[in-house]
Amino acid sequence: MKQSSEKIYSNTGNSEVLNRVPEGAVHILDVGCGAGVLAGLLKERGKVVDGITISETERSAALQNCRDVFLYNLENGLPVEIQARKYDCIICSHVLEHIVYPTQLLQQVYASLHNGGVLIIALPNLMHYKSRIELIKGNFPYQEAGIWDYTHVKWYTFKSAQKLLSHFGFAVIEADVTGELPFNSVMKKIAPATVRRKIFCFLKWISRGFFGYQILVVGKKQSG
């Protein structure tokens, strides 16, 4: 198995995170920027993005879309250079589950935001119904990616993710989950996308913690 610094995280960009970046936010910090895909989408919108990664390979790729990319271990908080700057929005997309002790990091993230700035976090939901089934069966099936990524060292629920931001002084302005319907491959064949979305919204109403695969929380730095 590869260490965290050896893994390369590159995807098509987390659209749910992207959609929550305030339109008026200009300077953005992507904590755990991966190969810079999300930064590239933000750059297309006229944003100025700085990134942080623990992987030299990711850093080289992310530099194409970021103003600066810092090679740094987030267990130690934020790089000194970052702490000297202020941001309108900070993103931690699938990052905090890799951090053993997030206290220093989140304290410094809060300090690095302008008043009224927002922190957007995305996390895998350990209490998703498929994970619950595995836990009931006595399994903890580590995998290369996803909820069971073997480099995850912390696990969060829909409720604990909100409490985490509140604990560090953020006002939680949005908390939601994303995911798919049970038996989604079958549902795609028998129900149009609009119907599937309505059904999933109903399931979220029943229990976000049970049906949500990805947790999304937006916290705002309060003035004063």
CATH, residue 149: 3.40.50.150
| Burial tier of 5 (Cβ tally within 10 Å: 0-12, 13-18, 19+) | middle
Length, in residues, of the chain: 224
In sequence order, what DSSP letters do the residues of 72-102 get, joined into one string? --GGG-S-HHHHTS-EEEEEEES-GGG-S--
User: Looking at the domain assignment, is residue 205 inside a domain?
Assistant: no
Answer yes or no: is 135 within a domain.
no
E runs forming strands in the chain: 27-31, 48-53, 68-71, 87-93, 113-124, 170-178, 214-221
Cα 107 to Cα 88: distance, rounded to the nearest angstrom: 16
Q: Give a yes or no: residue 61 inside a domain.
A: yes
Unique residue bearing structure tokens 């995170």? 17
Write the pLDDT tens digit of every residue in 70-97.
999 999 999 999 999 999 999 999 999 9
Residue-number span of the structural domain to which 107 is assigned: 4-127+141-179+211-221
Residue 27 lies in a domain: yes
Against a cut of 0.85, is the pTM above it?
yes
d(C-alpha 165, C-alpha 171), whole Å: 8
Residue 134 included in any domain: no
CA–CA separation, 135 vs 85, rounded Å?
A: 43
> Is 71 among the domain residues?
yes
Task: Give pLDDT, residue 222.
Answer: 84
Q: What is the DSSP annotation of 111-143?
A: HTEEEEEEEEEEEEBTTSHHHHHHHHTT----B
184 pLDDT tier (thresholds 50, 70, 90): confident
> What is residue 223's predicted lDDT score, i.e. its pLDDT?
73
Report yes or no on 196 lying in a domain: no
Q: Indicate the pLDDT class of residue 163, thresholds 50, 70 and 90.
A: very high
Question: How many separate domains does the chain show?
Answer: 1
Q: What is the pLDDT of residues 106-140, one digit of tens each?
A: 999 999 999 999 999 999 999 999 999 999 999 98
- The answer on pLDDT for 189 being more than 60 is yes
The angle formed by the CA atoms of residues 204, 206 and 211, to the nearest 5 degrees, is 45
Is 72 within a domain? yes
Give the pLDDT band (50/70/90) at residue 4.
low
Spell out the residues 6+ positions from residue 39 whose beta carbon is closer than 8 angstroms to its own.
30, 33, 49, 51, 62, 65, 66
Specify the pLDDT at position 143: 82
Half-sphere exposure of 20 (CA within 13 A, CB side): 27
**Mean of all residue pLDDT scores within the chain:** 92
pLDDT at residue 56 greater than cutoff 80: yes
Residue 202 pLDDT exceeds 90:
yes
